[in-house]
Amino acid sequence: MENFDYNYMEASKKTILITGGAGFIGNHVIRFFLQKYDTYHIVNGDKLTYAGNLENLKDVESSPNYSFEKLDIVDLEAVKAIWEKYNITDVIHLAAESHVDRSIENPAAFIETNVIGTANLLAVANEKWGSGDHRFYHVSTDEVYGSLGETGFFTEETPYDPRSPYSASKASSDHLVRAYFHTFELPIVISNCSNNYGPYQFPEKLIPLMINNIINRKPLPVYGDGTNVRDWLWVEDHASAIDVIFHKGKLGETYNIGGENELQNIELVHMLCDIVDEKLGRPSGDAKSSIKFVTDRKGHDHRYAIDASKIIKQLNWKPTIQPREGLEKTVDWYLEHSDWLNNITSGDYKQYYEKFYTH
Ligand code: NAD
Ligand code: TYD
């Protein structure tokens, strides 16, 4: 609360609760909004789970229009208290349990945060907001649509077919958000995005895990035969998409966000091996020799691919960074932030890693 300035708040047009702002995508969204809008007050409400890290926001934490509140969205009274303390006018909801492998181990945590937590935010928004200018923006994933074969794309009309506890919990939260629009006319928008990558991603996800393991000459665990396909989006492009949808998206609508950058996992891992070897001055092929094909993920979705034409045509958004450039920038960031990576991968991470990867 040290940074909270009531004079500033009176002058501001919006007080936006960004949930999960200390996580990977959240910190980029907060930075984007703070840099672009000096008339907004951003309240970062985050429980600081293993995935939330205030180090991610060190460069912006002293901004006069930024406040942090440790908030568990599963606690309804705590959500109400934050609403009342700041008179929240808008929400950008990112807080979630987000890792598929963890959802296979412990689905309950996903149902609590992703379903109950979202339900709490909706209930409080519906109770507190009258007919003024408000917006409840729910950030979701393309994984709600299920798994594609070799062809086709997810559109906003693709029927939901979630197949992991993570994607089922996100699908459930999407349905609740839409239900509040239809039943209570709550002013909502939803976006469903493909896989993000870039700085500050926790090294349980494919790209930072591989970078960390290549740097440390550890085995590179590729699930199954490595032919699963993901569409990769530079995280700052996701933040810019969230900006346009928050401001220009039509109430009640869903927007798919994607990078139009499909890669098989093995292709991506090969690219990372080449980039890191080159940057560390290691011989060509050095990292690739550590690739290990390991037992496949249970229920592993084969392919995700997004048709992003709605947001591109209607809201004039497009991704700016292609994968080779984005992966180079990502590797540079992790190499330059070895302290961040070392802090993150000590303690709990070691136990997590041993449990999942020591077969
Ligand atoms: P993340 O796991 O890096 O961060 C999640 C954040 O939420 C953390 O800061 C964590 O502390 C916080 N959090 C968790 N439980 C909470 C609770 N009960 N109360 C308050 N805060 C809590 O996730 P991310 O990758 O930044 O994803 C953010 C959102 O974007 C999620 O909703 C996710 O489903 C969605 N999304 C992610 C991707 C991706 O590739 N990472 C793609 C599409 C959509
Ligand atoms: P991940 O980053 O967990 O994202 P998601 O499962 O939400 O798409 O995984 C991306 C892909 O990489 C997915 O097909 C699973 C695969 N993968 C591996 O092959 N090895 C790993 O160690 C991890 C974490 C993921």
50 is catalytic: no
Given pLDDT bands bounded at 50, 70 and 90, which one contains residue 76? very high
pLDDT at 10: 43
Ligand number nearest to the C-alpha of 210: 2
pLDDT at 11: 40
Is the pLDDT reported for residue 359 higher than 70? Answer: no
Is the pLDDT reported for residue 6 higher than 70? Answer: no
Given pLDDT bands bounded at 50, 70 and 90, which one contains residue 349? confident
CA atoms of 118 and 115, how far apart (whole Å):
5
CA atoms of 173 and 116, how far apart (whole Å):
8
Ligand 2 centroid vs 93 CA: distance in angstroms? 23
The pLDDT of 282-308, averaged and rounded, is 98
pLDDT at 346: 86
The answer, yes or no, to whether any atom of ligand 1 lies below 6 A from the CB of 120, is: no
- Cβ 18 vs Cβ 43: under 8 Å: yes
Q: How many CA atoms lie within 13 A of 70 on its CB side?
A: 4
Closest residue by Cα to atom 4, ligand 1, is: 23
CA atoms of 147 and 78, how far apart (whole Å):
37
CA atoms of 257 and 238, how far apart (whole Å):
7
**In whole numbers, what is the pLDDT of the chain averaged over residues?**
95
CA atoms of 319 and 257, how far apart (whole Å):
9
Q: What is the DSSP track for 66-108?
A: EEEEE--TT-HHHHHHHHHHHT--EEEE------HHHHHH-HH
Q: What is the DSSP track for 17-41?
A: EEETTTSHHHHHHHHHHHHH-TTEE
C-alpha 166 chain-centroid distance: 13
pLDDT at 4: 39
The pLDDT of 65-80, averaged and rounded, is 98
In the chain, the domains with their CATH numbers are 14-198+234-260+304-321 (3.40.50.720)
pLDDT at 13: 86
pLDDT at 5: 40
Of 4-8, 116-120, 252-256, minimum mean pLDDT range: 4-8
38 is catalytic: no
End-to-end CA distance of the chain: 46
Given pLDDT bands bounded at 50, 70 and 90, which one contains residue 160? very high
Is the pLDDT reported for residue 333 higher than 70? Answer: yes
142 is catalytic: yes
% the chain with pLDDT above 90: 90
Instruction: Ligand 2, residue 207: give the atom nearest the CA.
Output: 2
Given pLDDT bands bounded at 50, 70 and 90, which one contains residue 2? very low
Q: What are phi and psi of 337, to 5 degrees?
A: -120, 50
Tens-digit pLDDT profile for residues 296-319 = 999 999 999 999 999 999 999 999
| Selected residue with higher pLDDT from 15 and 353 | 15
